[in-house]
Structures are given as C-alpha cells and as structure tokens.
Structure 1
Amino acid sequence: MSVDVVQLAQDLTPYATTAITAYGTAVLARVESDAADASVSFGQRMLRRLTGRDTSDGSDTTTEQDALADTVAELANTPHDADLAAMLRVQIRRLLTAHPDIAADVAGWTRPAAPTTVTITTSGERSPAVNINYGTIHTGDTTA
C-alpha cells in the first residue's frame, strides 16, 4: 500500500496540535483520559505511535521519533505558535517518509471528524467566557 505521506502529515497535524493543546507534554503519557473527546484521543494515540511511546518501554525510538517528541514538548510550552505547528507537520512528514510501515499503519486508522477551533465571545461587565460548563458559574455577585 502506497501512502501519500505529505497529505497524511497534513491530515494528522490538526489532531496532534489539538491533543498537545489539551494535554501539553502529558500527551505522550500512556493513560488516556475518559473525558477526552475523540479528536484529542485520536491525536494522543497517533502521537504515541509516531514517537514510539506505544511500546512497552519506548527505548527503541529512532532519530525521527525523538525529534518529533522534542517538537511536541516545545509546542506544548507554546501551543499557539504557528511556526512550531508548521515544524510539527514537517517532523510528522519526515517520520512517515522514513518509516513507511508506521505511515501505512496510521493511514489505516479510522479518524474522527477533523478537530475544529472553538471561538468564544463574551460581552458585558464580568461576563464569563465558557466553552463547556457542567456546573454553576459564580461571578461574585450576591444572589438571593
């Protein structure tokens, strides 16, 4: 099976950045959060596979996998850096090119809907800006 690694890297990068933004450097941890949405879980699983953290000890990683793990750590510290996100895509492409077996494996995985960016706007004095809230929001006002 021939895989277009350039397109695959382009397709995988949004999942990677979503997972990195959600978990930071813990994105490479073996434990997945039950609360993680499908895109974050897929991104986390994919990054563990690409960086070799999906094996029992992770000790037999390649140069490309180590470089990708370094980029993940750097992007986790500055998650909105467009240059680092582009570097992540390049690192993923290099790894997939160097390891066609990994590319074929990941290309065969079923992907959830592509992650989207949520924009939240609030207006008014002391108005909270919330994406998802499962509880009460108190702004400090006294209530009856």
Structure 2
Amino acid sequence: MSDINSLVGQIVPAVGAAVGAYGVSVLSRAEDQAADATVRLGQRLLDRILRRTPDRAPIETAVTDLAAAAGDPDALAALRLRLRSVLGQDPSLVAELAALLPAPPAARADGARGVAVSGNVSGIVSTGDAAINIQRR
C-alpha cells in the first residue's frame, strides 16, 4: 500500500496542475504545445488512468470538483482518495504510471552530519552537538 501512496503523492500534483490550467476541460483536451511539462504529464497520467478505469465517473467528478474549487485542499484530497482506490485495484496500472513518472532524486547527505531525506518529513530533523529542538503543534 505504501507504493500506491507514494505513487498517488506524485500523480496528484501533476493532475492538479493540469486541472488548474484547464479546468474540467482537462478530461477531453488534446495535449497543448504551450503547456508546461507538469501539465502535460498530468494530462497523460489522467488520460491513462481514465482509459484503464471501468467506472470513470468518480474520478471525473473529483476532477470537476477540483476545477470548480481551484486550490481547495479538500477537493485535491478527494481526487487523491479516488486515485488511490483505482490504483489499489489495478497493480499493472500502478507499474504503468510509475514508468511515466520521472525518477525521484536520490537522497544525498553531504558533510560529516548531513541528513538525507527522500520523500516528506513531518517533524524535526536536527544534527549538532547539544541541540535542543521543540516542536509545537
């Protein structure tokens, strides 16, 4: 399941950018030469998902809702939930989409106390002598 979550984490920003650029017409718009790479990637990913999904309506509804509420984190989360559900049912689609995505940059830690992070961090990352870290919520 973590592979799907990671994949969805990469897909949603690209599809969100495509929806932000084209609104609901992203569902039928042909690739535009002037669109940037992220938008084109989002279009390709969404097209591939919709072609392989027997019931397109829930994803199309999530895209339409996101287009109507541009930037709304709840609408983006609804799209993420729909995509996770679709990908959880089709491992071959997961592999196909993963092949379309650029490889994530390799984590690299330079220096004596360097910290390499691959993915997201939701907390304190600290190195050093006698460091005191306080995280308030």
TM-score by length of 1: 0.65
* 1:62 matched residue in structure 2: 54
Identity %: 34
Report deviation, 1:66. 2.3
Q: CA RMSD in A?
A: 2.2
Between the aligned partners of 2:9 and 2:87, the Cα distance in structure 1 is 11
Establish whether residue 7 from structure 1 lines up as the match of residue 20 from structure 2.
no
Larger proportion of helix: 2
Alignment of structure 1 residues 52-131 onto 2, 5 Å: 52=51, 61-63=53-55, 65-111=56-102
Q: Which has the higher contact order (CA 8 A, sep 6+)?
A: 1
Letter of the structure 1 residue corresponding to residue 54 of structure 2 = T
Between the aligned partners of 2:22 and 2:58, the Cα distance in structure 1 is 19
Letter of the structure 1 residue corresponding to residue 96 of structure 2 = D
Between the aligned partners of 1:83 and 1:13, the Cα distance in structure 2 is 13
Q: Is the 8 A contact 1:3 1:104 kept in 2?
A: no
Report deviation, 1:81. 1.2
Letter of the structure 2 residue corresponding to residue 51 of structure 1 = L
Between the aligned partners of 1:69 and 1:3, the Cα distance in structure 2 is 24
* 1:21 matched residue in structure 2: 20
Between the aligned partners of 2:70 and 2:38, the Cα distance in structure 1 is 16
Q: Deviations over 1:21-62 (max 9, x none)?
A: 00101112251111000000000110111112x8xxxxxx42
5+ long unaligned stretches in structure 2: 105-137
